[in-house]
Amino acid sequence: MYVKSLSLKGFKSFASATHLSLEPGITCIVGPNGSGKSNVVDALAWVMGEQGAKSLRGGKMEDVIFAGTAGRAPLGRAEVTMTIDNTDGALPIDYTEVTISRTMFRNGGSEYAINGTSCRLLDVQELLSDSGIGREMHVVVGQGQLDTVLRATPEERRGLIEEAAGVLKHRKRKEKALRK
Ligand code: ATP
Ligand code: MG
């Protein structure tokens, strides 16, 4: 399984539709300061369901929508689509190629789709959670985050290990069931 491509439109500095094709293995993004490298990483986290504005380096969620520049008006929506190569069947879905999309409008919440069919955030999270891409998004390690891991309490560290082992999903389900 690997991320095959990422398409952005109206996401942060990517006002125009931008398509990035990726290969298996390691991808490096290079460019001058402020050119949008970290925005690409934010887009990855966002399309996988990231809910924290701070994790996306913004003050509020709508900060991910292109805010306009001197020569270009702000946009009303942000859209990101990630295409995953699933020929190895790592994702529990019967498709060799899986697209996950997220759209957000200025006046409202987010819409999600898997392979073009509307779905809930929970569906995206459940699809990804068995693949090592968990809902807590430790798969996207930002600058300074290593420090947080090193300083974590034993309980917090246990959470990280549980997520990596894929048991977090079951613990969350158990907690939810017990609350009822
Ligand atoms: P560095 O090398 O300094 O880490 P970078 O390539 O990672 O830089 P980013 O942080 O990805 O750069 O991009 C920052 C740019 O994105 C800034 O110019 C900022 O104004 C722009 N930007 C962020 N959010 C938006 C938005 N909502 N609308 C328009 N532009 C935005
Ligand atoms: Mg950066």
Assess whether the C-beta atom of 62 lies below 6 angstroms from ligand 1.
Answer: no
d(CA 101, CA 48): 8
Give the pLDDT confidence score for residue 112 in this predicted structure. 98
Q: How many CA atoms lie within 13 A of 55 on its CB side?
A: 20
d(CA 88, CA 137): 22
Q: Report CA(9)–ligand 2 centroid distance (Å).
A: 19
**Which ligand 1 atom is at minimum distance from the Cα of 31?**
6
Say if CB 57 and CB 69 are below 8 A apart: no
- Say whether 68 sits in a helix, a strand or coil: coil
Ligand nearest to the backbone CA of 35: 1
pLDDT 10s digit of each residue in the chain, 180 long?
899 999 999 999 999 999 999 999 999 999 999 999 999 999 999 999 988 888 888 889 999 999 999 999 999 999 999 999 999 998 989 999 999 999 999 987 899 999 999 999 999 988 988 776 654 555 677 767 778 888 999 998 888 788 777 787 788 889 889 998
| pLDDT (tens digit per residue) in 61-85 | 999 999 999 999 999 999 999 999 9
For residue 93, give both structure tokens: 């879905």
DSSP conformational letter for 89:
-
Assess whether the C-beta atom of 59 lies below 6 angstroms from ligand 1.
Answer: no
* Predicted-complex ipTM score: 0.98
